[in-house]
């Protein structure tokens, strides 16, 4: 049985077409009134600055 892998949604949280990255996500970023954002290490920094609704200071959890 294949393990479910959460994929990175890219620096814009998947809300801009064609910007999802597809790498396995390592971090979960909590957002205000939006679904939590899953990102890989490369996109953690950009996502904090570019995605909509990110809390400040950021609230980040490690995913697996």
Say whether the peptide bond before residue 33 is cis (omega within 30 degrees of 0): no
Residue 50 lies near Zn ion (rule: CB under 5 A): no
Place of tokens 């999802």: 20
Q: Which stretch binds Zn ion (CB under 5 A): 20-28, 30-38, 52-60?
A: 20-28
Least CB distance from residue 42 to Zn ion, whole Å?
5
Residue 29 and residue 10 in contact, taking contact as beta carbons nearer than 8 Å: no
Residue 25 lies near Zn ion (rule: CB under 5 A): no
- Residue 5 CA to residue 46 CA, distance in Å, equals 21
Residue 51 lies near Zn ion (rule: CB under 5 A): no
Contacts with Zn ion, residue ranges (CB under 5 A)? 8, 21, 23, 40, 43
């Amino acid at each position: 049985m294949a393990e479910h892998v959460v994929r990175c949604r890219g620096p814009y949280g998947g809300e801009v077409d064609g910007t999802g990255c597809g790498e396995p996500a390592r971090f979960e970023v909590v957002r205000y009134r939006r679904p939590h954002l899953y990102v890989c290490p490369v996109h953690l920094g950009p996502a904090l600055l570019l995605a909509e609704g990110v809390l400040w200071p950021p609230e980040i959890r490690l995913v697996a």
